[in-house]
Amino acid sequence: MSALSARHVWTYRALFMAVSLVLITLKLLPLNLASSGVPGPDLLVLLAFAWIVRQPAVVPLGVLLAVFLLADFLFMRPPGLWTVLTILASESLRRRRLTMTEFPFLVEWGAVAVAIMGMVLLNRSALWILLVDLDPLGLTLAHAIVTIAIYPVVVVISKYLFGLRKLGPAELEAL
């Protein structure tokens, strides 16, 4: 099955939705209620970014919108804000994807790190402008750093478990 065939793309779209819903559900489980300390990574964002860089057609705009808006509503976040930031960052990654395919993984990681940091800071400043109660700065930064640090793991899992390989420039040009 070619990486560009319609069947392949739709299979992976469904897979993305399914994995996202599972992640949302897992996060909602009442398991570690009292755990404070280092907040866990935002796996949804990582999954979206890793897959966009690998095969952009697999994560279309509509799917991103649906998944993240649902997450915003369920996770008690301001609805729409994190979705906007994710969509903006994913668009910028989509546009810069070609340079990433030619350079080693570190460049991709750096781009994702910049995107996530930007999202977190923009999120914080938007909340500040809207006069919403802010979370502690240290926790927010720790959250961003943990998220960035987990990115390679998400990439490895998408590559070897889900078989999502990176499309080279030649294949992209062929379409």
Tell me the C-alpha to C-alpha distance, in Å, between residue 46 and each of 28, 41, 113.
Answer: 18, 9, 10
Instruction: Answer whether 41's CB lies under 8 Å from 147's CB.
Output: yes
Identify the three-state secondary structure at position 1: coil
Smaller CB separation from another protein, 14 or 139: 139
State the nearest-atom distance from the C-beta of 141 to another protein, in Å: 12
Question: Among residues 66, 74, 153, 156, which is the contact residue for another protein, using CB under 8 A?
Answer: 74
Burial 104-119 (b: 16+ CB within 10 A, else e): eeeebbebbbebbeeb
d(C-alpha 86, C-alpha 45), whole Å? 7
Q: Which of residues 96-125 bind another protein (CB under 8 A)?
A: 98
Smaller CB separation from another protein, 81 or 156: 81
150 is a site residue for another protein (CB under 8 A): no
Residues of the shown chain interacting with another protein in the complex, contacts defined by CB under 8 A: 24-34, 36, 39-40, 61, 65, 69-71, 73-81, 83-84, 87-88, 91, 98, 126, 130, 132-133, 135-136, 139-140, 143, 169, 172-175
